[in-house]
Amino acid sequence: MITARNDSLYLGLNKNNYKHISMELLNEKFALKTGKNHLCFTKGKGGIPIIDIKNKYATAIISLQGAHVLSWIPEGEEEVIWLSEDASFKSGKSIRGGIPICWPWFGGHKTIKHFPAHGFARTTLWEMICTEALDDGRTRVTFTTQPQADNDDMWPPETTVQYQVTIGKKLEMELVTHNNGSEPIIIGQALHSYFNVGDVSKVLLHGLDDTDYLDKLENFRLKVQHGPVYINEEVDRIYVDTVRECVIEDKTLKRNIIINKCGSRSTVVWNPWIETANKMGDLGEEGYKKMLCVESSNAAEDVVTIEPGKGHHLWVQYQIQKN
């Protein structure tokens, strides 16, 4: 678990324009080359700085825009994270796929309609705090971000946020929000993970049986889940009051993706299916068939109130099991 720190090694990055970010400086300060643990910075599509990670357990790619995990491939496995072939890599535009961080609200902003859906964390530049080659061979990267000109008016007052990604045989992420002010703050959030599946119509999502959910497609009408979740049409649901492990049973890739979480009592399940996918325009040719979002969140009534001087940790862990 990470504690709130203020000594972010801020590199004086030019936050609005990636062109001026020095890969040399980032590699000088944060690159790793310890045994089989390698980490380096390169310029990805659209000039967005990305972090390439390889260790004895897995490879991963993380974009500095949004601290956005774009890929995680455990040794001997197929890609676990889906990324659209038509994702736009433009600064300030959300990347379709990967693990977007929705923060400090989920969905539309409650009161200010022109604020961006899912908050601003996924489209803003994050800064490096540290990179670590752990003794057990895993790689750990810790990020933070600060108010910027284009989101200063949306930040919860006197709040800091850190994000830690640990890459190994399992993928672990922890999003920590700290209230340094004198008033309580309310945070909505999600790790909006797009999982790579062989054929979403042949997938079963276990772990939500008998759980209530809000069906966004029917104006958030409250319903109850019976049995595993099938995907053979558009699905957009916020499962409420659930802390259980979820399992994506992928009959095509003959594997299960096991999802565990702490600090969240809501799980969002989304697949746009054909019509909505075509309207969105950045899911690629039939991309909807190859992805399923299962999002560990603090959404709907599960938003968190953080008292002055306190913090909230949202932690998730993914692992693969062959079946």
> d(Cα 190, Cα 66) in Å, to the nearest integer?
13
Catalytic entry in 192, 206, 226, 312: 192
* φ, ψ for residue 207, nearest 5 deg: 110, 0
Amino acid identity, residue 263?
G
Which CB atom, from 11 or from 303, has the smaller least distance to ligand TA6?
Answer: 303
* φ, ψ for residue 132, nearest 5 deg: -135, 135
Residues 322/254, Cβ–Cβ less than 8 Å: yes
4 closest CA partner among 232, 158, 172:
158
List alpha helices for the chain, DSSP H: 23-30, 273-280
118 is a contact residue toward ligand TA6 (CB under 6 A) = yes
Which CB atom, from 117 or from 243, has the smaller least distance to ligand TA6?
Answer: 117
Window 171-210: contact mask with ligand TA6 (x via CB under 6 A): ---------------------x------------------
Q: Which residues pair with 33 in a beta bridge?
A: 38
Window 275-294: contact mask with ligand TA6 (x via CB under 6 A): ------------------x-
How many residues in the shown chain lie near ligand TA6 by CB under 6 A? 11
Element containing residue 295 per DSSP (H, E) = strand 291-298
Which CB atom, from 163 or from 288, has the smaller least distance to ligand TA6?
Answer: 288
Which CB atom, from 30 or from 106, has the smaller least distance to ligand TA6?
Answer: 106
Window 236-255: contact mask with ligand TA6 (x via CB under 6 A): x-------------------
Residue 85 annotated to the active site: no
295 is a contact residue toward ligand TA6 (CB under 6 A) = yes
Which CB atom, from 126 or from 270, has the smaller least distance to ligand TA6?
Answer: 270
Catalytic entry in 295, 301, 312, 313: 295
> d(Cα 127, Cα 50) in Å, to the nearest integer?
12
DSSP 13: -
3-state secondary structure 194-226: EEECCCHHHEEEECCCCCEEEEHHHCCEEEECC
Residue 192 annotated to the active site: yes
Alpha-carbon radius of gyration of the chain: 19
211 is a contact residue toward ligand TA6 (CB under 6 A) = no
Q: 277-300: string of b/e by CB count within 10 Å (b at 16+)?
A: beeeebbbeebbbbbbbbbbbbbb
94 is a contact residue toward ligand TA6 (CB under 6 A) = yes
23 is a contact residue toward ligand TA6 (CB under 6 A) = no
Smallest distance from ligand TA6 to CB 237, Å: 9
Binding-site ranges for ligand TA6 (CB under 6 A): 94, 107, 117-118, 192, 216, 236, 268, 270, 293, 295
Active site residues: 192, 295
